[in-house]
């Protein structure tokens, strides 16, 4: 099958209403949900390393959910599972064995190294490196230029990827060192170097990052009001957009911080 000079494998499963731009390459092992748009020059289902060595190797399935928007020049490898309403910027690379939830966005020039998990409603802004095996829970936002690392003594085979708890915010150009476990609702200030575990709700900054205060003390400079937990003050595109975070927590049997009680 060929659409506007794209090559779409006849074995790929393409949903209803899917639009595919020019010069795309959609491999055999790809399933695309209904109404998803794949913009120009994208490669979906990029073969894994083993398939170059072994002709009989069957690349694992890549699934991309419904109503997604894959912008131009994205390369998404075989063997990842991506939910509905997924959005990318341009020139994104997503390696194999990522499990990505629903309503996730991954900005321009992000590099996701695979074998990790990204929860629902997570937002990755541009130019972010997510090392292999990282776990980002629901509603984690990561800002431009952040680097997650997994090898304490490079080069080695002992990888300890970081984990980031629900609702945490990782400020621009922060670097997270291997094995760091960042709790829920934490706030990592721009440019921080995180070398150890960060407890829930803590704002850290500096190199090495130190706990400065409870993020719930921080006020928004425009409103003068306390800003965190941020879901009480930000709802665009979030599931509480129409009802507010308080009501959302009640409806979903969560505590006031949106966590399981």
Ligand X SMILES: CC(C)(COP(=O)(O)OP(=O)(O)OC[C@H]1O[C@@H](n2cnc3c(N)ncnc32)[C@H](O)[C@@H]1OP(=O)(O)O)[C@@H](O)C(=O)NCCC(=O)NCCS
Contact footprint for ligand X (CB under 6 A): 143, 171-172, 187, 189-191, 203, 205-206, 212, 218
Nearer to ligand X, 141 or 257 (CB): 141
Q: In the bound complex, what is the minimum distance in angstroms from residue 160's beta carbon to ligand X?
A: 25
- Partners of 176 in the β-ladder: 148, 194
Tell me the CA distances in angstroms from 69 to 8, 10, 88, 208, 225, one per residue in order: 17, 22, 6, 38, 36
Nearer to ligand X, 62 or 174 (CB): 174
Nearer to ligand X, 109 or 212 (CB): 212
Q: In the bound complex, what is the minimum distance in angstroms from residue 175's beta carbon to ligand X?
A: 12
Q: Report the candidate in 67, 83, 85, 71 with the shortest Cα–Cα distance to residue 17.
A: 67
CB 108 within 8 A of CB 91: yes
Q: In the bound complex, what is the minimum distance in angstroms from residue 8's beta carbon to ligand X?
A: 37
Question: Which residue do the tokens 């003594």 mark?
Answer: 153
Nearer to ligand X, 171 or 258 (CB): 171
Q: In the bound complex, what is the minimum distance in angstroms from residue 227's beta carbon to ligand X?
A: 8
Which tokens is 258 given? 């949106």
Q: In the bound complex, what is the minimum distance in angstroms from residue 214's beta carbon to ligand X?
A: 10
Nearer to ligand X, 212 or 254 (CB): 212
């Amino acid at each position: 099958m060929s659409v506007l000079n794209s090559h779409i494998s006849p074995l790929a499963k393409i949903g209803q209403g899917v639009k595919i731009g020019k010069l795309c390459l959609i491999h055999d092992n790809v399933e695309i949900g209904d109404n998803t748009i794949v913009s120009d020059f994208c490669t979906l289902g990029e073969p894994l390393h083993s398939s170059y060595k072994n002709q009989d190797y069957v690349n694992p399935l890549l699934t991309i959910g419904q109503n997604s928007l894959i912008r131009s020049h994205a390369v998404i490898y075989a063997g990842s599972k991506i939910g509905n309403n997924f959005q990318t910027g341009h020139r994104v690379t997503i390696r194999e064995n990522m499990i990505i939830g629903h309503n996730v966005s991954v900005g321009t020039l992000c590099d996701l190294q695979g074998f990790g998990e990204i929860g629902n409603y997570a937002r990755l802004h541009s130019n972010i490196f997510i090392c292999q095996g990282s776990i980002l829970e629901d509603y984690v936002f990561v800002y431009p230029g952040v680097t997650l690392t997994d090898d304490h003594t490079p080069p080695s085979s002992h990888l300890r990827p970081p984990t980031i708890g629900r609702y945490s915010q990782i400020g621009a150009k922060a670097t997270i060192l291997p094995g760091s476990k960042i709790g829920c609702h934490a706030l990592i200030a721009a440019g921080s170097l995180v070398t150890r575990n960060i407890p829930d709700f803590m704002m850290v900054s500096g190199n090495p990052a130190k706990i400065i205060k409870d993020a719930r003390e921080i006020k928004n400079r425009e409103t003068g009001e306390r800003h965190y937990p941020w879901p009480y003050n930000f709802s665009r595109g979030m599931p509480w957009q129409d009802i507010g975070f308080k009501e959302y927590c009640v409806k979903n049997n969560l505590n006031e911080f949106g966590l399981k009680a």
